[in-house]
Structure 1
Amino acid sequence: MSKISQQIIFDMDDTLIHCNKYFDLILGDYFEWMTEWFQQYGVTTEEVRTKQMEIDVAGVNKFGFASANFPQSLIDTYHYFARTHGRDSSRKEEELLLQLGLSVYDQEIEAYPGMVETLEQLREEGHCLHLYTGGETRIQKRKIEQMKLTDYFEDRIYIRQHKNISALEGILKDGTFSRSDTWMIGNSLRTDVVPALTAGINSIYIKQQREWQYNLVELKQEPHNVLYTVSALTEVPEIIDDHVN
């Protein structure tokens, strides 16, 4: 067992379970529809992708991780190109886009490789595990239940619609965390790593091969605490073990 028990806070989406790949699948269908509907105007997939990303990120910045953001970004992008090219909007097409966007939340949940082994190893080594995820309670609870994550996190689960510096600081202040012995594990520089560095806790950044643009920000501050970058969830236990021993 490690000499000092650590408080380990895990992000969920694209850290423990897959998330972005389902949005990519939906966007693949969306780009096909859009380029077909606007074919006569020469609209390209890249143009649609750029505008949808711009609108989606703006929505998250304003409203947090609300489930309506993504489908609304599809509809708003559709309206943008309709206005730009003088094409009439269609209620039928809008409804199709709404249902397409909402379908992303009905996808089967899939764990990242080594999720169970990683959580079990850390728990067996005496560490206290916490789950901190961004989104709507109903949707995130469904994922948590399907993956049986309460087996590892019990009542130490925090769901926030806005996942930022103040949200993490609130969790730390409300709990019994020793910041030098606390870790934030996640795939987002914006919502995991930067808040952790600001709060003065340790962080492990799990760098994904394909990342949502919203998550990518420049690290402007020099870390005064521990920051590691890894490419797989399964690397986490060894890093923490090496650090505390």
Structure 2
Amino acid sequence: MTSQPHLHQHIIFDMDDTLIYCNKYFEAVLEDFTRLLRHFLGKDRLTAEEIRAKQVEIDVAGVHQVGFASHHFPESMVETYRYFATLLGHPISQIEEARITKLGLSVYDQLVEPYPGMIETLDVLKAQGHDLYLYTGGEAAIQQRKIDQMKLDVYFGDRIYIRQHKNVEALEEIIALHQFDRSRTWMIGNSLRTDIEPAIKAGINCIYLKQPDEWVYNIIELKPAKDTTMYTITSLQQVPEVIAENIAVKHKRTL
């Protein structure tokens, strides 16, 4: 008698830039910030590339310290302004800083949009009987607003976890809470740093949704792992097929 495949899987989804758009809103604000800063300090004295490079440097350093705190993004822009104002001998202005802060905070007021195939993908996985979990980084109020806008509770119910720091410790808490069988557990996300590397360290399967214009913070070099299955895809709609094929392969090995 042959064993049957473990069809039932525990599938943990990241939200921002996995299920819904996120980075493009930050990019749009940063484009406005770059134009505003050059207006304040002089277009002929400062290039857009210099501004963006310094903001990224400050932004990434701060995320390592405070996690995904909403105040950090506008503060990174203000700090960038102060750096170049001091460098160029421009008097630091509270009025200019207030405009920059307001611009930075506006990123959290955007109406979010789902990635192509989000609803279809979740519908397929739900219909197949898999348990779906949402695990997102950020502040509770901001992330919950996105969840409510997208009505994601229809798919995830009370299996939603919001953490200011996304790392292996936070992922392990979720795994332990539900006592997951790690061989049947998946992490799906766009961040090598906060989604895929922790999943590899936790010994669960992972699917990396590679985005064309990824935030530099999310990009790291992964260390190979023998006991973890990792797939790379470019479309959310590939998720059900990847998981189904993995189940089929594992079942074949038991025959």
Fold conserved between structures, TM > 0.5: yes
Structure 1 residues 40 and 116, CA, compared in 2 at 3 Å: closer, same or farther?
Answer: closer
Cα offset for 1:4?
A: 2.0
Distance 1:133 1:210 in 2: 19
Cα offset for 1:41?
A: 6.2
> Superposition RMSD on alpha carbons, in Å?
1.1
Cα offset for 1:39?
A: 1.6
1:104 corresponds in structure 2 to: 107
1:169 corresponds in structure 2 to: 172
Distance 1:28 1:128 in 2: 40
The C-alpha deviation readout for 1:159-182, integer Å capped at 9, x for no partner, is: 000011111111111222110000
Larger Rg: 2
Distance 1:164 1:38 in 2: 39
Contact 1:9 1:131 (8 Å CA) reproduced: yes
- The percentage of aligned residue pairs carrying the same residue is 56
Determine which of 5, 27, 38 is the counterpart of 2:8. Answer: 5
- Tell me the amino acid that sits aligned with residue 122 of structure 2: L
2:116 matches 1:142:
no
2:222 matches 1:222:
no
2:37 matches 1:34:
yes
2:40 matches 1:60:
no
Contact 1:200 1:224 (8 Å CA) reproduced: yes
Alignment of 1:223-238 (within 5 A): 223-238=226-241
Distance 2:201 2:30 in 1: 34
2:131 matches 1:128:
yes
Contact 2:13 2:133 (8 Å CA) reproduced: yes
Cα offset for 1:49?
A: 0.2
Distance 1:54 1:223 in 2: 33
Contact 2:204 2:228 (8 Å CA) reproduced: yes
Alignment of 1:81-120 (within 5 A): 81-120=84-123
2:242 matches 1:239:
yes
User: Under a length normalisation based on structure 2, what TM-score does the superposition of the two structures give?
Assistant: 0.93
2:20 matches 1:17:
yes
Distance 2:178 2:225 in 1: 26
Name structure 1 gaps, 5 residues minimum: none
User: Under a length normalisation based on structure 1, what TM-score does the superposition of the two structures give?
Assistant: 0.97
Cα offset for 1:75?
A: 0.2
Cα offset for 1:11?
A: 0.1
Cα offset for 1:3?
A: 4.4
- Tell me the amino acid that sits aligned with residue 84 of structure 2: F
1:190 corresponds in structure 2 to: 193
- Tell me the amino acid that sits aligned with residue 51 of structure 2: V
Aligned residues: 244
- Tell me the amino acid that sits aligned with residue 214 of structure 1: Y
Contact 2:6 2:184 (8 Å CA) reproduced: no
The runs of 4+ residues in structure 1 deviating greater than 3 Å are: none
Distance 1:80 1:41 in 2: 17
Name structure 2 gaps, 5 residues minimum: 249-255
Determine which of 153, 156, 161 is the counterpart of 1:158. Answer: 161
Cα offset for 1:224?
A: 2.1
- Tell me the amino acid that sits aligned with residue 37 of structure 1: F
Contact 1:41 1:85 (8 Å CA) reproduced: no
- Tell me the amino acid that sits aligned with residue 161 of structure 1: Q
Cα offset for 1:132?
A: 0.1
